[in-house]
Amino acid sequence: MLILSELREIIDHQRQKILNLKSHQRQLIDELEIIDNYALVISGIRRCGKSTLLSQLIKQQNHGWLYLNFDTPRLFNFEFKDFRLLDQIISENDIKTLYFDEIQVVNQWEIYVRGKLDEGYQVVVTGSNASMLSRELGTKLTGRHITKELFPFSYREFCEFQNMDFNHQSLNSYLEIGGMPQYISSGNTEVLHTLVNDILYRDIAVRYNIRNDRSLRHLIMFLVANVGNLISANKLKTLIGVKSVNTIQEYLSFFEAGYLIQLGPRFNYSYRVQLVNPRKIYFIDNGIQAAISPSFSPDWGQRLENMVFWELRRQNFELFYYNENNAECDFVVTRNGDVQILIQVCQSLNADNMHREAEGLTNAMEYFNLLKGYIITLNQRDTMVSEEKSIEVIPAYNLEELFCS
């Protein structure tokens, strides 16, 4: 049972902690706007910097605010009825904006947030489970929320944080270390192992009452080792040793909801066709992937493709792979149903792979009637021209050229 004095103590302690937090400015901060009558919802994987982002947002405020992080052992037993204690503290102070961190751990939180919006408060919440947030937001907060996603450090943020230039050396470091802020600072891989265990067991196994947590571990390890490859629930069922395709599909949806993975569909104008085709697997962060991977040697081409996926994902593009006419292209980059960019990714272009990589890209260019395509490599820049079509070869450390021009 929570008591008022204890809650006050927790709030005071967390307030000082959030105010004293020193951090690198996140790119997403420029996109955040707190609007009256709308909850601002920030979602993303655990430990990617959501609390840090809130601290940066709080420091821009010029009026009263309250911050409460529910993901602390002292609040693990917080229940809906305890919001009455919180209301008493709010009423005693001149507060306009409420910041709630990892609020999804409290049942029926969305009812309380809706009530505070109706009372005229501004509300900002974070959460690390996309499906829970979207389901709850879709009931009590329909049309009353704006959602933003925060990911681990982008390549640009990594370079700024490390005071490195955009070049081959910093790119290699990013592909190896990844973008999880705490790991970049500490270099302790135990941080990453603990993160994955928390998601697998606390956020998934316990929350969804999965007794066979060994199958969860087997599945995530297989996915980690197959980043950029095609997967299907049918084949995974046999490989992992579970009885049902539905079980595999549920596990995959749990991993996606926890921001561990994302599955890239094959491009097709028919959504039904997209659903029945195998999907490509991408893992949230190369540093986490490297830390828990069962592979003994790094696959730099795999890491590069994974990086490109998430760099594009941060720009809110919708991403597909292309597979038609026995030709493949890694990324069909779309926005609002409009195909904008075609991208092939390979570690390096050479005499052995140049024809294959270019052929898959030009085939996609013909299919979508685009005159330009791109090949992203580790450290090459070049141009290829075929009839009216051109292919720009760009090093990944200059990837921003594609969407910042």
Q: Where are the domains of the chain?
A: 4-149, 155-313, 318-404
Furthest-apart CA pair in the chain: how many Å? 75
* pLDDT value, residue 131: 66
Q: Spelled out in words, what is the top-level CATH class assigned to the domain 4-149?
A: alpha beta
Q: What is the Cα 22 distance to its own chain's centre? A: 23
Pairing type for strands 97-101 and 65-69 reads parallel
Strand partners for 127: 43
Count of all residues that appear for the chain in the document: 405
Q: Are the C-beta atoms of 160 and 184 separated by less than 8 Å?
A: no
**Contact by Cβ (8 Å): 165, 159:** yes
Identify the burial level of 160 via C-beta atoms within 10 angstroms of its C-beta, where 0-12 means exposed, 13-18 middle and 19 or more buried: middle
Q: At what angle do helices 4-19 and 50-58 cross, to 10 degrees?
A: 80
CATH class of 155-313: mainly alpha
The predicted pLDDT at position 345 comes to 98
Distance CA 128, CA 103 (A): 9
In this prediction, residue 137 carries a pLDDT of 75
pTM of the shown model? 0.95
Which of 179, 208, 203 is CA-nearest to residue 191?
179
Comparing C-alpha atoms, which of 107, 21, 91 is closest to residue 56?
21
Phi then psi for 68, rounded to 5 degrees?
-145, 120
Instruction: Note whether 192 and 291 are within 8 A (CB).
Output: yes
- pLDDT (tens place) for every residue of the chain, 405 residues total: 899 999 999 999 999 999 998 888 999 999 999 999 999 999 999 999 999 999 999 999 889 999 999 999 999 999 999 999 999 999 999 999 999 999 988 989 999 999 999 999 999 999 998 766 676 777 778 889 999 999 999 999 999 999 999 999 999 999 999 999 999 999 999 999 999 999 999 889 988 899 888 999 999 999 999 999 999 999 999 889 888 999 999 999 999 999 999 999 999 999 999 989 999 999 999 999 999 998 878 899 999 999 999 999 999 999 999 999 899 999 999 999 999 999 999 999 999 999 999 999 999 999 999 999 999 999 999 999 977 899 999 999 999 999 875
The span from the CA of 9 to the CA of 201, in Å, is 30
